[in-house]
Amino acid sequence: MDLNNKIEKIGIVFAMKGEALATIHHFNLERINGNYPVELYGNAENKIVVSLNGTCSFTGVDNVGTQAATLNTYVLINEVNPDIVINAGTAGGFAHSGAKIGDVYIGTNRVVYHDRRIPLPKFDEYGIGNYGLINTDYLAKQIGIKQGIISTGNSLDYVDRDLQLMKMSNASLKDMEAASVAWVCQLLNKAFIPIKSVTDMVDGGIPTEVEFKANFNLATKNLNLKLIQLIDFIYQKTMEEIVSPEK
């Protein structure tokens, strides 16, 4: 990754179409292609491309979770070759770390898993993942956004051991895609940023599905506002300018 190259092509991975519509409309993106269930939306010369997990052919619902996100990210990078990959979506937040409904976070430090429990030497580390992302300290200040560690799993709710692992990772957010997107970006040497908006409180006592449905519209509205700010800010800048601007 050359820190001095301008960011001229941005790829955004979403799981759910409802999370992405405002961004698709804002940039006047149109359906361009996509392999398997993945849906790609681009503009002139595909400088900004939104990539959706697509829908399940059996149930008609959005393909959510790590399997679909892994495929989505691979297809996006293979077909579009963006300079940077953003994973945008909704997530659960932790009240004990200061999260509130509708808050938007940008990832920091690392992205982890909480439901890949493999208690064997080295496999335990592999299961957690600890995938890297670019330094987002400057970006967080510029667009006025919180920072936090994101932990990924394949269930909307959690079991007690999941919660223990999330606490061990010092996670502020719980989602269903970020770590798998980060893994593909690591394999293919792509810069990665996750940005997530809070629909529900993991430690709030209200069933996740209840809060998710009640707060989805607010969270996606806030998400897209900050995502558009992020895209506008990083476009045509170098990686050096957004990671270490003081240099």
What CATH code is carried by the domain that includes residue 156? Answer: 3.40.50.1580
Nearest to 203 by CA among 105, 113, 95: 95
Instruction: State how far the Cα of 30 lies from the Cα of 8, in Å rounded to an integer.
Output: 19
Asked whether residue 245 is domain-assigned, the answer is no
Residues ≥6 apart with Cβ < 8 Å to 182: 87, 111, 129, 131, 132, 133, 192, 194
Sheet strands (E) in the chain = 10-14, 30-33, 39-42, 48-52, 84-93, 104-113, 146-152, 171-175, 191-201
Per-residue pLDDT tens over the stretch 216-238: 999 999 999 999 999 999 999 99
Phi, psi of 119 (to 5 degrees): -75, 65
Q: Which pTM value belongs to this model? A: 0.96
Asked whether residue 14 is domain-assigned, the answer is yes
Percent of the chain with pLDDT strictly greater than 90? 91
Number of compact structural domains in the chain: 1
Asked whether residue 64 is domain-assigned, the answer is yes
Q: What share of the chain is helix, strand, coil (3-state, %, to 5)?
A: 40, 25, 35
Nearest to 186 by CA among 112, 114, 118: 112
Instruction: State how far the Cα of 56 lies from the Cα of 53, in Å rounded to an integer.
Output: 9
Asked whether residue 185 is domain-assigned, the answer is yes
With b meaning 16 or more CB within 10 Å and e meaning fewer, what string describes 181-213?
bbbbbeeeebbbbbbbbbbbbbeeeeebeebbe
Beta-ladder partners of 107: 148
Q: Compute the half-sphere exposure of residue 170: CA atoms within 13 Å on the CB side of its CA.
A: 8
- pLDDT averaged over every residue in the chain: 95
SS3 63: coil
Asked whether residue 207 is domain-assigned, the answer is yes
Tokens of 187: 């394999």
Range from 2-6, 13-17, 157-161 carrying the lowest mean pLDDT: 2-6
What average pLDDT does the segment 3-8 reach?
Answer: 88
Asked whether residue 1 is domain-assigned, the answer is no
Annotated active-site positions, please?
Answer: 19, 200
**CA torsion angle for 109, 227, 48, 32 (degrees, to 10)?**
110
Per-residue pLDDT tens over the stretch 166-202: 999 999 999 999 999 999 999 999 999 999 999 999 9
| 28 class by beta-carbon count within 10 Å (0-12 exposed, 13-18 middle, 19+ buried) | exposed
Is residue 247 over pLDDT 60?
no
Q: What's the domain range around 212?
A: 10-238
Asked whether residue 170 is domain-assigned, the answer is yes
Q: Compute the half-sphere exposure of residue 3: CA atoms within 13 Å on the CB side of its CA.
A: 9
Residue 178 in contact with residue 196, Cβ under 8 Å? yes
Nearest to 107 by CA among 154, 55, 169, 45: 169
Asked whether residue 108 is domain-assigned, the answer is yes
